[in-house]
Every structure is written in C-alpha cells, then in structure tokens.
Amino acid sequence: MAGSIPWRLRGGWSVGIWFDRGLWPAGGFLLLALAALVVGGAIGLLLERGLLRFFYGSDDVLVVLVTYAAFLILENLVLQVWGWNAYPPTSRRPCSAR
C-alpha cells in the first residue's frame, strides 16, 4: 500500500504539502513559519487586549494565574482540534515505538 502512495503524501495530514507546491524547496517551511508568527501574534494581541487588560494594576500573582489559565485553555483547544496522538493513523511509527 505504501508503494502506491506518493512519498510526499505518506506523512498523513501534513499541511506543508499544500504550501510546498510550486515554491522553492524551503518555501513551504518559510511560509508556514511566517503564518505561525502572524497567528501567534494575533492570538497574543487578542489575549492582551481582550483578557489581560482587565487585570492591569492587580496583583502580579493574579495576572500570572490568568495567563496560565488562558494557556491551559488554549492547549486543550489545540488537543481537541488536532487530537492526542502525535502520529496520524496512516504514518509509520518510529522503530522505538514498535
């Protein structure tokens, strides 16, 4: 089965293959890195202006706890969207996991 699937598609649900088409070899990676910076900055700005501004002037411990709570919520959101398994069901596991 693996022989009939092109080598670029064997990784499963990789988003990078869609950005890699027609760009220079590192273009897909650079585009994804730039997209990660933009999305991370947007989420950081939303958290800062939407949540943390209400806690300006409060105790520093409270600000740290609110930031940590937001981190835990976002971490669980990522796990809900992309799943708990690090490998897609169609990919090969590393030799040590057999």
Q: In a 10 Å sphere around its CB, with 0-12 CB exposed, 13-18 middle and 19+ buried, how is residue 47 labelled?
A: middle
pTM: predicted TM-score of the whole model, two decimal places: 0.56
Q: d(Cα 16, Cα 1) in Å, to the nearest integer? A: 22
**Cα–Cα dist 18/11, whole Å:** 12
What DSSP state is assigned to residue 84?
Answer: S
Q: Is the pLDDT of residue 16 over 60?
A: no
- Lowest mean pLDDT across 18-22, 28-32, 53-57: 18-22
Residue with more model confidence, 79 or 13: 79
DSSP reduced 3-state for 30: helix
d(CA 32, CA 86): 19
